[in-house]
């Protein structure tokens, strides 16, 4: 078999993936894993035929042992052959100063073969109980994870992703003799608990448009050791609380007297607190840039301030501390970016955060700021920050805040005239704000205006041409980015009937639905969306619409958005208006079908042709 009926895109199928964890000796972890995989095509060789096993090598924290592997093939005569993994084909590689990895390629890989391998990971200490993932980028027939945990170790267990377990059990077990404290455990009646989770027929979780990261959707169980205890002794809390995380972050925040002096000078003559905030924000945005070389910033905030470049955290820290010196209530907000995964607020974990924003409180109103992009207006956060919530590192009031979704808005107004020979000449003005404008401004940094027009707008006219174009508002961040385009196109003329066929959407038609049937992942845009297109079409003398298209209004459930089309006719002109609004940034799986239908209708509307006829035949 070289294809999978339930998933035509599959290049491999994980037939079985079983992991079992137990504690031995001085509460050290032992993980035994077995995997069996059906390889369907050659394109799976790199990702699934070559195996890497990372491990924490520093101070002997982990080691990998007992690696075995075998590849099974069916020969042309029907016989079964087995090729075993040889020790000399197993390599150990350095990843960085902390991690190493085992790497091997399974022998005799062919389309249709079955590979299986097993290994053991031994870890020193109880903190290495890693997450178990029940799915992957290819379909999984069966995945099972078993963890037998001593009752004196308290773990927080969090189920993440698209978790629908086929079975989930929890059973009491005795204290094993291979684990330290056996006699004491018998004396106090301390045992273990055996947890087991199984998932069957897990669909592939692959990259798709409008998602955060596949890691947010792959079903998994995550473990965090929270407390160690023993009868007759005081327990030890292993993880911090949110107050401690906020205090630690505040205590470790760096300062820069030079930057603070600038803040005081900027704020000196500004009485209104919001104006002070705006002045300092614009100063930081104008003077600082992100050092993407990885060599700037770091421990010395003043060095970053002097160099006028640093990490995004450097810039956030400068903004926060400068706002504080301007007598404003400003706090760091720790976030996890979209590609880093959804933040977990169930238990305190500082390591999940990988970016910092700034929260300012003025008259009971909250402002979330990020000054790391000179192309982004103050009210617009980085797209990668659109990930739900952030943690306010305020020791006096540590809390989570919602990160408000931004907006992406494009309004197009077009005017075109069509001759009785089918020649179309027109002009349109496209005004973008929010993320639509931000994307264009970034692109205009990398290419000239002519290159931008040629790449973006010329490709939008499938049959027409861009005669000339200008872009305005590149440097006016609080104003729309406006592109003005003069264009020519050609309608289709039937020589026998003199009917003219002309589509009403010039340079803005939708052609592809990003939400294919069978999609299982929610749609997470990260922003609300507005797209409006209006056309005034001047008709040839003596022509009219053969049939006036009906108005359309398609409303998504729960007022999540709508699609509408209106066509009005006056003598010599047709007025066409189409508008798509998605009023929420995220659509769960149960709302995908209406969303897909909405985009199907959008494509149909944009593909529909006006039929123009002479007055004498109109309506016949």
* Domains of the chain with bracketed CATH: 12-237 (2.60.40.3140), 243-404 (3.10.620.30), 407-614 (2.60.120.1130)
Assess whether pLDDT exceeds 50 at residue 612.
yes
Assess whether pLDDT exceeds 80 at residue 298.
no
Cα torsion angle, 34, 37, 42, 43, sign: negative
pLDDT band, very low/low/confident/very high, at 478 (cuts 50, 70, 90): very high
Region of poorest pLDDT, from 44-58, 169-183, 295-309, 343-357: 295-309
Assess whether pLDDT exceeds 50 at residue 523.
yes
Q: Quick one: pLDDT at residue 366?
A: 96
Q: Quick one: pLDDT at residue 619?
A: 47
Region of poorest pLDDT, from 88-97, 130-139, 573-582, 609-618: 609-618
Q: Contact, 20 vs 49, CB < 8 A?
A: no
Please provide the average confidence, as pLDDT, over all residues in the chain. 93
Q: Look at phi and psi of residue 570 and say left if phi exceeds 0, alpha if psi is from -120 to 50, else beta.
A: beta
Q: Quick one: pLDDT at residue 294?
A: 54
Distance CA 168, CA 195 (A): 8
Collapse the DSSP code of 295 into the 3-class scheme (helix H, G, I; strand E, B; otherwise coil) and give the result: coil
Assess whether pLDDT exceeds 70 at residue 295.
no
Distance CA 198, CA 167 (A): 5
Assess whether pLDDT exceeds 70 at residue 618.
no
Q: Quick one: pLDDT at residue 181?
A: 84
Mean pLDDT of 292-300: 60
Q: Quick one: pLDDT at residue 166?
A: 94
More confident residue, 337 or 176: 337
Please report, for residues 43, 55, 57, 600, the alpha-carbon distance to residue 97 in angstroms, rounded to integers and kept in the order given.
Answer: 32, 12, 8, 51
Number of neighbouring beta carbons within 10 Å of residue 448:
9
Mean pLDDT of 295-307: 76
Assess whether pLDDT exceeds 60 at residue 247.
yes
pLDDT band, very low/low/confident/very high, at 296 (cuts 50, 70, 90): very low
Mean pLDDT of 221-244: 88
Q: Quick one: pLDDT at residue 299?
A: 63
Distance CA 105, CA 91 (A): 10
* Residue 299 CB-density burial (10 A; 0-12 exposed, 13-18 middle, 19+ buried): exposed
| Per-residue pLDDT tens digits for 355-389 | 999 999 999 999 999 999 999 999 999 999 999 99
| Per-residue pLDDT tens digits for 389-407 | 999 999 999 999 999 999 9
More confident residue, 202 or 234: 202
More confident residue, 4 or 599: 599
Mean pLDDT of 254-268: 92
pLDDT band, very low/low/confident/very high, at 616 (cuts 50, 70, 90): low
Assess whether pLDDT exceeds 50 at residue 297.
no
Q: Quick one: pLDDT at residue 512?
A: 93
* Residue 208 CB-density burial (10 A; 0-12 exposed, 13-18 middle, 19+ buried): middle
Q: Quick one: pLDDT at residue 334?
A: 98
């Amino acid at each position: 078999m070289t294809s999978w009926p339930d998933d035509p895109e599959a290049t491999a199928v994980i037939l079985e993936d079983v992991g079992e964890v137990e504690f031995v000796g001085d509460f050290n972890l032992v993980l035994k894993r077995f995997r069996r995989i059906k390889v369907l095509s050659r394109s799976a060789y790199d990702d699934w035929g070559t195996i890497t096993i990372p491990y924490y090598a520093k101070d002997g924290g982990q080691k990998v042992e007992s690696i075995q592997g075998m590849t099974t093939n069916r020969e042309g005569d029907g016989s079964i052959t087995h090729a075993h993994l040889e020790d000399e084909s197993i390599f150990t590689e350095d990843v960085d100063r902390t991690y190493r990895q085992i790497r091997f390629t399974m022998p005799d890989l062919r389309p249709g073969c079955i590979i299986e391998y097993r290994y053991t990971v031994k870890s020193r200490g109880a903190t290495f109980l890693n997450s178990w993932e029940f799915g992957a980028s290819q379909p999984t027939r069966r995945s099972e994870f078993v963890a037998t945990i001593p009752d004196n170790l308290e773990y927080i267990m969090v189920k993440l992703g698209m978790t629908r377990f086929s079975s989930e059990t929890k059973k009491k077990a005795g204290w094993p003799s291979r684990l330290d404290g056996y006699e004491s455990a018998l004396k106090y009646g301390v045992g273990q608990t055996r947890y087991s989770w199984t998932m069957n027929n897990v669909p592939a979780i692959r990259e798709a448009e409008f998602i955060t990261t596949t890691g947010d959707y792959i079903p998994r169980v995550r473990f965090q050791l929270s407390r160690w205890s023993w009868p007759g002794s005081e327990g030890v809390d292993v993880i911090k609380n949110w107050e401690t995380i906020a205090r630690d972050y505040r205590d470790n925040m760096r300062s820069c007297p030079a930057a603070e002096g600038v803040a005081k000078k900027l704020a000196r003559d500004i009485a209104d607190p919001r104006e002070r905030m705006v002045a300092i924000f614009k100063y930081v945005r104008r003077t600082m840039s992100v050092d993407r070389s990885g060599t700037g910033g770091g421990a010395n905030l003043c060095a970053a301030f002097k160099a006028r470049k640093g990490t995004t955290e450097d810039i956030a820290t400068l903004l926060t501390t400068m706002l504080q010196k301007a007598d404003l209530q400003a706090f760091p907000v720790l976030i996890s970016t979209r590609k880093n995964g959804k933040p977990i607020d169930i238990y305190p974990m500082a390591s999940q955060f990988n970016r910092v924003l700034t929260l300012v409180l003025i008259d009971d109103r909250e402002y979330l700021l990020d000054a790391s992009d000179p192309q982004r207006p103050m009210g617009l956060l980085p797209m990668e920050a659109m990930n739900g919530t952030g943690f306010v590192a305020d020791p006096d009031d540590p809390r989570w805040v919602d990160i408000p979704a931004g907006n992406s808005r494009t309004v197009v107004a077009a005017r075109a005239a069509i001759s009785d020979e089918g020649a179309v000449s027109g002009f349109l003005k496209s005004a973008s704000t929010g993320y639509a404008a931000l994307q264009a401004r970034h692109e205009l940094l990398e290419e000239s205006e002519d290159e931008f027009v040629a790449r973006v707008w010329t490709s939008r006219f499938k049959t027409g041409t861009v005669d000339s174009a200008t872009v305005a508002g590149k440097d006016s961040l609080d104003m729309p980015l406006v592109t003005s385009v003069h264009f020519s196109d050609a309608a289709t003329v039937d020589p026998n009937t003199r009917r003219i066929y002309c589509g009403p959407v010039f340079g803005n038609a939708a052609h592809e639905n990003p939400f294919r049937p069978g999609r299982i992942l929610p749609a997470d845009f990260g922003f609300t969306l507005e797209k409006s297109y209006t056309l005034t079409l001047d008709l040839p003398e003596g022509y009219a619409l053969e049939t006036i298209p009906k108005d359309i209004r398609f409303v998504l459930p729960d007022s999540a958005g709508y699609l509408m089309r209106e066509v009005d006719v006056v003598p010599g002109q047709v007025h066409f208006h189409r508008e798509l609004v998605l009023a929420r940034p995220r659509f769960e799986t149960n709302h995908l079908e209406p969303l897909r239908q909405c985009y199907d209708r959008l494509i149909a509307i944009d593909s529909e042709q006006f039929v123009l006829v002479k007055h004498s035949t109109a309506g016949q």
